Structure 1
Amino acid sequence: MAHNAKKALQELARRGPHDVLHGDLALVGLPGIVCAPRSGRGLAAVAFGHGWLQPSRRYTGLLRHLASWGFVVAAPTTHTGPFASHRMFAADLRTALDICVNVRLGEGGISVDERRLGVAGHGMGGGCAVLAAAEDSRIRAVAGLSTTETMPSAIAAAGRVSVPGLQLAGERDLMASARSNAEPINRAWGGPAQLRTVRKAGHLAFAEGRHWSELLLQGRSHYGSQRLSRALLTAFFLRTLTGDRRGAELLTNDVSGAAIDGEHSKGPLAAA
């Protein structure tokens, strides 16, 4: 089993089989980034929320990676200032999904199935993804990277989310420790939920490149953490949104650097 999980990790950490288109959400009314396979009908879509003070471009590698595995991925670049509204940013994540469903992307050869929608995010964006899922019954899966608490409370909202949830916490994260954020979210979660702690990851490990916010926030970009998160999120959304089992072994076994927290996980992560 462990060997199969390692093999799945190696496969899903690599770029997927699809050519990727990269576009500007502002062209359809919402500032941000959209990445998609070059073509495909009835695709799954994921809205991704940035961390506090982080521009969406710091997640371009992750967005493009998911797109290469067949997902349409939209990341709003709103509420990037110090006084971000969590409630409004959660609404923007839902709007991003609306755009994916209702706007034909590319040259009209891309469409999204409204029954295959997910949300994810880093830090504040992870908390807002929980808020969005609690209010939108279309959302079928939720993932968070170093998720932080929000106002209104993501921990309280987690109890109203019955779809599968995956939380990745950073072992060295001083801003969003697993104990104060991911563990309470998973305890409250209303459906199957899994928590993993990513070894050596600080709060900004999942953000790409350099940014002035590193002067204020803990941690820095870390390739190993990004590689693990790309593979795990790909496996999670393939399984929960499309029923694709290629990453099934990865979701049910420990892998080096990202062991499953059995105490704070519940139920198998299967197609919703």
Structure 2
Amino acid sequence: MTPGGDSLAAYAEDGPFATTSQSGGFSCTIYRPISLQDDHPVILWGNGTGASPSTYGSGLRHWASWGFVVAAANTSNAGSGEEMLDCLDYLQGTSYADQLDFSNVGASGHSQGGGGTIMAARDNRITATAPVQPYILGLGHETSSQYQQTAPMLLLSGSVDTLAGPTLNQAPVYRRVDVPVFWATLRGASHFEPVGNMGDFRGITTAWWLYQLTGDADAADLFTGPCEVCGLSDWDVERKGL
């Protein structure tokens, strides 16, 4: 699942898999490759307040095109992380569970769902996270969860986000968590950057999942060592443990 280039733009292009979406019981929506092979990593998704999986549908399908099976919780209040973990339980009971790699499970979400991502990641089945502009000042989020992380984190911010601004919502997370963190702030991005197709968060999240959930060496180079993302003009980066 390695793209042809080493820039974020390469990962913002669709991957090799044709995708489909389907109901995951009453509580989840599944975005996945149409033809499942073996060992597809899993990504759990939590929506922002008032949003649904379809709010981010193009972006979730994009991740699926790279071979991931995405389970999005059908709730507009994902701050506790519980509904996200329920979707993991659902996948473990499906007829295609044997084709999924439950040793590589990501968790991600936007705004309230970003806070829910941090809550969900207290579960040791989660092996990597990507909270997108997480809101941590309530709505089900507990500050204690930030001290209970065990999975590497891609923490995303928007520089002109006025609803879950970096100073009050992402900077404390970066300081508190005791795991490897790559904190990337997109210059000029508002709170609604990921709505639809993930916007300019699409490439960096896809690369992160390939690095963390598949061990892709080209994707890893974006975040580790000399850190190719660190030199991109659109991003301000802080990192620890990477």
TM-score normalised to structure 2 length:
0.89
Q: Is the 8 A contact 1:146 1:168 kept in 2?
A: yes
For 1:86 and 1:22, the matched residues in 2 are separated by 24
Note the residue ranges of structure 2 that are not aligned, 5 or more in a row. Answer: none
Q: 1:216 aligns to what?
A: none
Q: Is the 8 A contact 1:146 1:203 kept in 2?
A: yes
Residue 162 of structure 1 is aligned with which of 147, 150, 161? 150
Q: Is the 8 A contact 2:156 2:185 kept in 1?
A: yes
Q: 2:168 aligns to what?
A: 180
How far off is 1:96 after superposition?
Answer: 0.8
1:86 partner letter? G
Q: Is the 8 A contact 2:78 2:116 kept in 1?
A: no
For 2:120 and 2:199, the matched residues in 1 are separated by 26
For residues 12 and 125 of structure 1, do their structure 2 counterparts lie closer, same or farther at Cα, with a shift above 3 Å needed? same
How far off is 1:152 after superposition?
Answer: 4.9
2:240 partner letter? K
SS in 2 for 1:250: coil
For 2:53 and 2:78, the matched residues in 1 are separated by 16
2:18 partner letter? D
For residues 85 and 102 of structure 1, do their structure 2 counterparts lie closer, same or farther at Cα, with a shift above 3 Å needed? closer
Q: 2:222 aligns to what?
A: 250
Q: Is the 8 A contact 1:154 1:185 kept in 2?
A: no
How far off is 1:241 after superposition?
Answer: 1.3
For 1:154 and 1:250, the matched residues in 2 are separated by 31
Q: Deviations over 1:147-169 (max 9, x none)?
A: 10135544431211021001110
2:233 partner letter? S
Q: Is the 8 A contact 1:117 1:141 kept in 2?
A: yes
Q: 1:95 aligns to what?
A: 86
2:8 partner letter? L
For residues 102 and 244 of structure 1, do their structure 2 counterparts lie closer, same or farther at Cα, with a shift above 3 Å needed? farther
For 2:52 and 2:141, the matched residues in 1 are separated by 23
Q: Deviations over 1:202-257 (max 9, x none)?
A: 1112112xxxxxxxxxxxxxx7xx34311111111111111112312322232232
SS in 2 for 1:241: helix
RMSD: 1.9
How far off is 1:72 after superposition?
Answer: 0.1
TM-score normalised to structure 1 length:
0.79
SS in 2 for 1:66: helix
Q: Share of identical aligned residues, percent?
A: 28
Residue 50 of structure 1 is aligned with which of 47, 51, 56? 47
User: Which structure has more helix as a fraction of its residues?
Assistant: 1
Aligned residues: 231
For 1:65 and 1:85, the matched residues in 2 are separated by 21
For 1:258 and 1:155, the matched residues in 2 are separated by 27
Q: Is the 8 A contact 2:46 2:117 kept in 1?
A: yes
For residues 92 and 152 of structure 1, do their structure 2 counterparts lie closer, same or farther at Cα, with a shift above 3 Å needed? closer
1:141 partner letter? A
Q: Deviations over 1:72-126 (max 9, x none)?
A: 0011112x2xxx4732xx1110011122233134xx8x72122111100000000
For 2:6 and 2:78, the matched residues in 1 are separated by 41
2:20 partner letter? L
Q: 2:159 aligns to what?
A: 171
2:30 partner letter? V
Q: 1:12 aligns to what?
A: 11
Q: 2:79 aligns to what?
A: 86
1:145 aligns with 2:132: yes
1:139 partner letter? I
Q: Deviations over 1:170-209 (max 9, x none)?
A: 111011111101110111112101111111111112112x
For 2:211 and 2:142, the matched residues in 1 are separated by 24
Pairs within 5 Å for 1:106-125: 111-125=99-113
Q: Which aligned runs of 4 or more in structure 1 are off by greater than 6 angstroms?
A: none
Q: 1:230 aligns to what?
A: 202
Note the residue ranges of structure 1 that are not aligned, 5 or more in a row. Answer: 1-5, 209-222
For 1:197 and 1:50, the matched residues in 2 are separated by 20
1:145 partner letter? V
1:59 aligns with 2:56: yes
Q: 1:127 aligns to what?
A: 115
Q: 1:73 aligns to what?
A: 70
